[in-house]
Amino acid sequence: MSATTAHLREVTDETFAEEVLRSDIPVLVDFTADWCPPCRMVAPVLAQIAEERADTLKVVSLDVDRNPETQAAYSVLSMPTLVLFRGGEPDRSVVGAQPKRRLVEQLGLDEVH
């Protein structure tokens, strides 16, 4: 595992509450799917964000095909959908692959402490 991907964790329907909802720090969830080309495009950007902000932000991915309960619970219909959770609640979201600068801006990641 490279240093870049080491900061990304995969969550499941079973681990979502523990890893995301009960996290002490904000969590960026990447709702993704293996068949989704834009998801593959955004993955290296998310890995970079995860590495740069490892102390203040957790970045995880959730495969929607293998974890339909969590996908349905948050009404995720398009991939990739990125949702920033703060204190166990969805705070901001972005749908579709975006350049890093735009993701950081739209999700308010510069405000994450």
Task: Tell me the two tokens of residue 89.
Answer: 């609640």
From 20, 27, 29, 36, the catalytic residue: 36
Let me know if 39 is a catalytic residue: yes
Let me know if 54 is a catalytic residue: no
As to burial, measured by CB atoms within 10 angstroms (0-12 exposed, 13-18 middle, 19+ buried), residue 48 is middle
From 29, 39, 60, 94, the catalytic residue: 39
Residues contacting 78, CB < 8 A, separation 6+: 95, 96
Q: Which residues make beta-bridge pairs with 50?
A: none
For residue 72, the surrounding DSSP H or E stretch is: helix 68-73
Active site residues: 36, 39
